[in-house]
Chain A
Amino acid sequence: MSELLLLQVANPQVVASSTGVFLIATLVKMLVVFTLYMVGVALLTLAERKISAWIQDRHGPNRVGPHGLLQPAADGLKNIMKEETYPDAAYKPLFILAPAMAFLPALTAWAVIPFASPLPTRWGLIPMVVADLPIGFLFILALTSLGVYGIVLAGWSSNNKYSLLGGLRSSAQMVSYEIAMGLSTIPVLLLAGNVTLSVIIDQQAHGLYNILNLTIAFFIFMVAAFAETNRLPFDLPEAESELIAGYHTEYSAMKFSFFFIAEYANMVTASALMATLFFGGWDIPISGWENAAPYTVLKTVATAAMFAAKVMFFIFVFMWIRWTLPRFRYDQLMSLGWKFMLPLALGYIVVIASVMLGLDASGIEYGPLYGLALFGVNLALVMILFVMVDHGRIISPAYGRLDPRELEKLRAMRQRSTLARRPDARAPVGPPKAARVTGGTP
């Protein structure tokens, strides 16, 4: 009997069932991922400055440590040592509580995201997710909407007009885009038939990734994620040219850091969610090797690396867009959310549901072929949406509204400046000039 128990516990390919193993594994996973998250967030502050420097053709921080790598540590230390001030008229209890209320949901929401294939150990198979909740990503939706409390309370309790406006704007923006975000995930549920993220990954591994199945849902989700995390082009809550720093104008030292950490943690979670819902999570494309039954440590490491790569790519996209696009005006922001994204998401749900019904009726099983059919529908929809319905009104290149003659003038100017900057373009200009000078004085 005891031998049988030992054998059962020792089988590395069966999910570990003992409560002790479960608790210890949870603790280890939690500590490791939390540490990675905090270090990652610290490095992201540096990455953002480095990437912005790269995009703007300058050096960025490079004094503290090699290539400025110790800059986040220096910033953190400075923020701990700084003097804290707050306005006399601030409502203290909420003023102190608000940063923590932004911090808590931001650093808890990632718990349900699976980050690698299950790890075989001597005590059984350990799923590589901190909390494998049956409610899946509804947990993330719930927690990220709690994040709005921290921002609103910070804005209100500061007793500063700019803070108040920042907090109000932020709340209105976050709730508006939350609807679009919620609706854009419903096509994913239609395909997966479940809200658990591991099932959604599995569904994508057995067919095509959802970026191909549900292209427009991804587009809506990404825009909504930018608005939810208050990143540019939707950073109205802290638009520094109008609101000083928005809701955290009055915050200093560690409390300010909390808002900063929360913002970056939200960004990582949004990136991880995009990677999981639409890009197959930890699944390695095409191979099909890593989600077959005999799990090994190598597979876990490879899939974790794959997941990290996907998440980092989306984080880069967040930063790339921040330094590329200008900020929206507030009425544009609200009408984009309510008048464009909401009806688009609703219509898309109907289209996907109908196409699924049609595919089921024609007897196509779920798999690559099913995905290709959906992708064809998506291509047609994208064409209809961008070329016919939108017609350059909402989604247009930056030069879309310029006068064509002005545009030509700008293009000519750019061409001249690139010619002037090229060294080989300048070289032939030199000698004739010199010859003329010498020729003039015989």
Chain B
Amino acid sequence: MVKAYIPVLLLMGFVVMNAVLMLGLSALTLRSRPTPDKQIPYESGITPLGNARERFSVKFYMVAMLFIIFDIETVFMIPWGAHYKQLSCSAPLVNGSCATANVSFFGLGEMLVFMAILLVGYIYVWKKGALQWD
């Protein structure tokens, strides 16, 4: 099981090495002649007013929070999806398929309950205007 992950580590190491090499190469051939004018943030040629680290719209925080809720819900659905065939069969699967007599509503019913609870939250968020962007 652990063996399967070794290639990923190898690949990550290799990509990091590549990144460092390319940045290093460009640093070696670097011709750095900084002037005060060059180091002003480029804002369409207009001298920047103040700092960029200012307050920004609360909408972005809202989206981030909603994302966490709905993304966790997606994560809950993935194992359900992968095991759905077994969940909708009251007997163990034979060759990955279920005998007609054993088909059960259990898997779908559970997910419908989960989705119904979620839907209440979704409608609440929608009606509160959290999804409205203007």
Contacts and interface: CB of A to CB of B under 8 A. Distances in A.
A342 B105 CA distance: 24
A354 interface: yes
A104 B20 CA distance: 11
Interface string A227-269: 0000000000000000010000110011101100000000000
Interface string A79-95: 11111111111000000
A334 interface: yes
A10 interface: no
B73 to A, nearest CB: 8
Interface string A340-374: 00110010011001101100111101100000000
A210 interface: no
A172 interface: yes
Contacts of A244: 42-44
Nearest to B34: A85
B133 A178 contact: no
A319 B105 CA distance: 44
B124 interface: no
A306 interface: no
Given A193-B96, A334-B63, A356-B88, A159 B11 contact: no
B1 A331 contact: no
A339 B126 contact: yes
A178 B103 CA distance: 33
Contacts of B119: 346
Interface stretch (A19-27, A381-389, A418-426): A19-27
Interface string B100-121: 1001010110011001001100
Contacts, number: 217
A271 interface: no
Give me the 5 closest cross-chain CB pairs, A-B, nearest first: A189-B81, A254-B26, A182-B74, A131-B7, A160-B41
Given A161-B54, A182-B71, 13 more contacts: A82-B26, A83-B30, A89-B51, A89-B52, A103-B19, A107-B18, A160-B52, A161-B48, A165-B56, A195-B78, A338-B66, A349-B111, A350-B115
Interface of A: 19, 22-23, 26-27, 30, 34, 79-89, 96, 100, 103-104, 107-108, 111, 130-134, 138-139, 158-165, 168, 171-172, 175-176, 178-179, 182-183, 186-187, 189-190, 193-195, 244, 249-250, 253-255, 257-258, 330-331, 334-335, 338-339, 342-343, 346, 349-350, 353-354, 356-357, 360-363, 365-366
Interface of B: 1, 3-8, 10-12, 14-16, 18-19, 22-23, 25-26, 29-34, 36, 38-44, 48, 51-54, 56, 59-60, 63-64, 66-67, 70-71, 74-75, 77-78, 81-86, 88-89, 96-98, 100, 103, 105, 107-108, 111-112, 115, 118-119, 122, 126, 131-134
9 contacts: A80-B25, A83-B32, A86-B39, A87-B41, A172-B60, A176-B63, A254-B25, A255-B23, A353-B84
